[in-house]
Amino acid sequence: MNKKTLILIPLITVTLIFSIYLVFMSTNQSIQTSQADFVYSDVEKIQKILSTKNILMSSPSVITDYTVKQYCTFFDDNGVQQFVTYCVTTSILNTDGNPLGNINMGGNPIEPNMALAIVETSPSFDSKSDEIGFIFETMIDTLVCDCWAEKQPGGFESVSAWVNAAEQQYSDSSQPTLTSKINGLAHKQLILEITTSGDSYLWTLIIIR
């Protein structure tokens, strides 16, 4: 893979339409774990795990200018958009070199306080469901805790079960955006969003600590 290749999907296409959304599930929990907060170097762990399923990740690129808000931003529990000053972004691709999306982390130059994965599917809604489930599971296991099977937040036995339930709910809905939240897993907030973007669908996982 050409490590200079970087496919950027601006998060702004996702976040600007948050005003129209369907809340699928919000689960509040207080789950105690010993998992440490994630750090920027965790992208290397994610890269190694994804490679076992032939998903490739580019070398990280640092963004500190005004475009940070396009790739590392999120909405808090009050619906207020939050920005960071420092963002590390990578692109993810399949073995044929076709782009799947991005994995980004943002915060200050010392430590991140949010991470997100964006996967684009087109033209079929569920054309990359296997990759989506594995990417999101890798993100959660690495950055939150390897405890989903034990805790089963929201009553979902696995990350894939959560993704599949959201996929079904979105398919049955007429809304352009679906948002599902799980709070409290290792003291972090997880947000799963599915939304349309032109002729494509964007699947986004946001992890906030």
* pLDDT tens series, the chain, 209 aa: 443 344 455 553 333 333 333 344 443 333 443 445 899 999 999 999 999 999 999 999 999 998 898 889 887 767 788 889 999 999 999 888 889 999 999 999 999 999 999 999 876 766 788 899 999 999 999 999 999 999 999 999 999 999 999 999 998 988 899 999 999 899 999 999 999 888 889 999 999 98
Question: Of 105, 111, 135, which Cα lies nearest the Cα of 207?
Answer: 105
CA-wise closest residue to 176 among 29, 41, 55, 16: 16
**What is the model's pLDDT at position 79?**
76
Distance from CA of residue 28 to its chain's centroid? 19
Longest CA span, the chain? 43
pLDDT score at 9 = 58
Q: What is the pLDDT of residue 199?
A: 83
Q: What share of the chain is helix, strand, coil (3-state, %, to 5)?
A: 25, 35, 40
